[in-house]
Amino acid sequence: MDILLERKSVRKYTKDEVKEEDLNYILKAAMSAPTARNTRCFSFIVVKDKETHKKIAQIHRAAQMVLEAPAAVLIVGDADIVFENYLPQDCGAAAQNMLLAATAKGYGSVWCGIYGNEGRMSEFSKLFELPENIKPFALVVIGKSADNNPPKNGWQPEKIKYEKWG
């Protein structure tokens, strides 16, 4: 359970690679996420090519950390097979599983948002030559952490209400 509290967004990485077996574990964790009606509408594009990382940095100003990272994974969702409007929930669950699996394997990672930003979605669709039904959801950047900051303390008891809002 500790990995849940240890996870944090990491935006600085060492030069170490992400091992193939660890990347596969992270992808398996992503694919083990729940999806509405079990449509499993997500797919994953592993991106290690530095030229592509540079192009990503040009189209996503909050994803500059990809320039230093050994690997990134673009999570996409298939709008043709998803149940109702659950594409962002399905892909979001996969994204969170990836972050936790990366933490469990000793990597730092960060979720870079794409879905919901029309301009960004269009740029990523072009860059990765996605067909119309395949929607770019998020880029998860992964590498060995070079960030010693502790995770944020997420505990806010005032966020909890019992039985009703009031």
Ligand X SMILES: Cc1cc2nc3c(=O)[nH]c(=O)nc-3n(C[C@H](O)[C@H](O)[C@H](O)COP(=O)(O)O)c2cc1C
Q: Smallest distance from the beta carbon of 102 to ligand X, in angstroms?
A: 12
Q: Smallest distance from the beta carbon of 152 to ligand X, in angstroms?
A: 5
Stretch that binds ligand X, among 3-11, 23-31, 33-41, 67-75 (CB under 6 A): 3-11
Tell me if 88 contacts ligand X by CB under 6 A.
no
In this chain, which of 51, 132, 152, 165 binds ligand X, going by CB under 6 A? 152
Tell me if 87 contacts ligand X by CB under 6 A.
no
Compute the distance between CA of residue 55 and CA of residue 126 in angstroms, rounded to an integer: 11
Q: Smallest distance from the beta carbon of 136 to ligand X, in angstroms?
A: 13
C-beta of 150 vs 166, nearer to ligand X: 150
Report the chain's terminal Cα–Cα distance, integer Å.
32
Tell me if 73 contacts ligand X by CB under 6 A.
no
With a CB cutoff of 8 Å and minimum separation 6, the contacts of 5 are 151, 154
Question: Angle 106-111-117 (CA atoms, 0-180°, nearest 5)?
Answer: 170
With a CB cutoff of 8 Å and minimum separation 6, the contacts of 46 are 23, 27, 71, 72, 73
Tell me if 53 contacts ligand X by CB under 6 A.
no
Give the other-Cβ count within 10 Å of 138's Cβ: 23
Of 42, 92, 75, give the one whose Cα is nearest residue 141. Answer: 75
In the window 111-150, what residues touch ligand X (CB under 6 A)?
111-113
- Strand 42-47 and strand 71-78: the pairing is antiparallel
Block residue for tokens 């729940």: 34
C-beta of 8 vs 135, nearer to ligand X: 8
Tell me if 159 contacts ligand X by CB under 6 A.
no
Stretch that binds ligand X, among 5-13, 37-45, 66-74, 122-130 (CB under 6 A): 5-13
Residues within the interface to ligand X (CB under 6 A) = 8-9, 11, 62-63, 110-113, 152
